[in-house]
Amino acid sequence: QMWEEAIALGKELAEQYENEMFDYEQLSELLRKQAQFYENIVKVIRPKPDYFAVGYYGQGFPTFIRNKVFIYRGKEYERREDFEARLLTQFPNAEKMKTTSPPGEDIKTSSGQYIQCFTVKPKLDLPSKFHRPVSEQIVSFYRVNEVQRFEYSRPVRKGEKNPDNEFANMWIERTIYVTAYKLPGILRWFEVKSVFMVEISPLENAIETMQLTNDKINNMVQQHLNDPNLPINPLSMLLNGIVDPAVMGGFTNYEKAFFTEKYMHEHPEDHDKIEKLKDLIAWQIPFLAEGIRIHGEKVTEALRPFHERMEACFRQLKDKVEKQYGVRAVLSSLDERRGSRPRSMVRSFTMPSSSRPLSVASVSSLSSDSTPSRPGSDGFVLEPLLPKKMHSRSQDKLDKDDLDKDKKEKKKEKRNSKHQEIFDKEFKSTDISLQQSEAVILSETISPLRPQRPKSQVLNVMSSERRFSVSPAAPSSQLTPPPVTPRTKLSFSIQPNLELNGMSSSDIPDIPPPLPLKGSMADYGNLMESQDLISPTTSPPAHQRVSP
């Protein structure tokens, strides 16, 4: 279940499959596995194993473990007693030590075998990529994995014992163990390379305890928000133990021990720490409020009286804390600590159909065998457009040559009159109601978005090739176009020195071949124009030819 490590290895394999081997089948399978791993990280609850410090003291042990300390990673849900029993089976003659303090020289130099075993807590070492708060489900992996520092805390009392408040003089003696390598590794245990000890004052211990309590409440609230099917009993015990003063006393003992004039007078250097402790107490209220809200939504009728009593205790606690330590914002604190995604990461990947541009595939998919795929086959009439200035590169070139521009305008009129004649003959007998349509304006020289010619048009073109083979020198008065209603004009532009389908102007015959029945999205209407415009005697240089 170390999916984070599997993802790291999968990324290395993906680089090989994609850029070295070009094995896209293996790559797709690997990416599907990685997607499942990411989902498991967020949704699956993994058990947290315990870590144990084991010391082998005495001359009776082999030299590679003699008088050394090792950190072991226990199995899933393995208790310390079970681990000790498993450890002692390997050394049946060893004696188990009763204390957790380091042994003296007499034990280390004795001829016997002494084993010291106790539970240590791994110290979280988050990777540098987590520079902002993230989900607890993601961080929980690094609390027990990829750890190299472990700590063991032992309470020590200094000064006079206070029977009313034991927190006032309770110091913590904390031992830090650093292993040779991170756990888990190729082994489940590694040798301790360095050991050092620090002392934690009672006030610092209170600050750590409050911080851990707030984190515990927040983590459990987040788990219930992510998975509503979690059992409610752990949440009930956690909230009741904090809210009900008869159970554990809450932070009242801290107030009696540190928030007094006597302590402030004796320890003026702890003013900042006291303020931090007060701030942590105030932050606990919004966490408890969110937890009680979730508890009220999921509580059963049998536990309703228990929940109502807990709510009453919380109201009293909230009034007291907000009066003494201030009010903390609930929404901002929860959002910040819950690790929710920033708004910049939450993007909408859908656009409204009115503002989404149509692609080539979407335009071509609009046509089918049952519906006409060209304006005019639906009853639309292709009619001249109002002159509009084009800003394409090819149009700028045509504007430089006045003679070519005049020829282009003549051919437009001829072509439009021929199209008009074809459509009038074909749809003369049909009574199709005209519908409003948008004009198709092609700003490029050859537009790939022009719909294909319907089959009926192709058949008419094949049977009347002479209609499309009009000489450029023919006067426009020979063709009498039918009356045109005032509509928009369909304009096409083409570059005079353009190659068509890989053929230069010298290769184009006088009479064009029949058009295919169902070709690609080519602009067939420009074939006639290109034949008329391009002179067979002047072939453009090779370096000036532009492929369509």
- Supply the pLDDT for residue 157: 83
pLDDT along the chain (548 residues), means of 10: 94 96 95 96 90 96 95 93 93 92 92 95 89 85 94 86 74 95 93 94 91 90 85 89 69 83 86 91 91 91 90 89 81 44 36 39 39 42 43 46 62 62 52 47 52 55 47 44 51 46 49 66 49 46 49
Range of the domain at 178: 51-200
| Three-state DSSP class for residue 17 | helix
12 domain residue, yes or no? yes
Show the DSSP H helices in 299-382 as ranges: 304-325, 330-338, 360-364
**Whether the bond into 375 is cis, omega within 30 of 0:** no
Burial label for 122, CB within 10 Å (0-12, 13-18, 19+), is buried
Distance CA 317, CA 308 (A): 14
Residues 13 and 147 occupy one common structural domain: no
67 and 196 share a domain?
A: yes
Q: What is the predicted pLDDT for the residue at 51? A: 97
| Residue where a domain stops, chosen among 284, 300, 325 | 325
Distance between CA atoms of 381 and 487, rounded to whole angstroms? 9
The structure tokens 């003992």 sit at 253
- Residues 196 and 57 reside in one and the same domain: yes
Give yes or no: residues 221 and 191 share one domain.
no
Q: Are residues 225 and 290 in the same domain?
A: yes
d(CA 530, CA 415): 12
Select from 325, 341, 366 the last residue of a domain.
325
> What is the residue whose two structure tokens read 């901002």?
332
Amino acid present at 15: E
Looking up tokens 């890989």 gives 502
Decide if 495 contacts 546 (C-beta within 8 A).
Answer: yes
Beta bridge partners of 199: 173
The model carries a pTM of 0.56
Tell me, yes or no, whether 501 lies in a domain. Answer: no
| 154 token code pair | 């032992």
CATH of the domain at 313: 1.20.58.740
Q: Which of 154, 96, 161, 155 is nearest to 120 (CA)?
A: 154
| CA-based nearest residue to 73, from 54, 52, 102, 89 | 52
Classify residue 79: in a domain, yes or no: yes
Does 29 share its domain with 94? no
* DSSP code, position 500: B
State residue 169's pLDDT score: 82
Instruction: Let me know if residue 266 belongs to a domain.
Output: yes
Residues 217 and 156 in one domain: no
Sign, Cα dihedral of 394, 396, 400, 401: positive
Tokens of 234: 């752990």
The set of residues, in sequence order, having a beta carbon less than 8 Å from that of 460 and lying 6+ positions away, is 422, 425, 426
pLDDT of residue 91: 93
Q: What is the pLDDT, as a whole number, of residue 515?
A: 74
pLDDT number for residue 417: 59
Question: Which residue in 378, 379, 358 sits closest to 368, CA to CA?
Answer: 378
Domain boundary, last residue among 150, 172, 200? 200
* Residue 18 domain flag: yes
Identify whether residues 226 and 319 lie together within a single domain.
Answer: yes
CA-nearest of 37, 33, 49, 42 to 2 is 37
Which amino acid belongs to residue 249?
Answer: G
Assigned domain for 225 exists: yes
Distance CA 531, CA 495 (A): 12
Q: Which residues pair with 70 in a beta bridge?
A: 54, 191
For residue 233, the number of C-alpha atoms closer than 13 Å in the C-beta half-sphere is 1
Here the tokens at position 313 are 């205790």
- 296-329 as b/e, with b when 16 or more CB fall inside 10 Å? eebbeeeeeeebeebeebbeebbeebeeebeebe
Sign for the CA dihedral angle at 274, 275, 279, 282 comes to positive
- Contact between residue 263 and residue 255 where contact means Cβ atoms under 8 Å apart: no
- Cβ(184)–Cβ(146) below 8 Å: no
216: in domain: yes
Is 337 a member of any domain? no
Q: Are residues 68 and 194 in the same domain?
A: yes
- CA dist 277 and 349 (Å) reads 45
69 and 28 housed in the same domain: no
> Domain count of the chain?
3
Task: Identify the residue whose tokens are 């939450």.
Answer: 346
Identify whether residues 196 and 211 lie together within a single domain: no
| Helix 304-325 × helix 233-243 angle, to 10° | 40
Task: Indicate if 36 and 76 belong to the same structural domain.
Answer: no
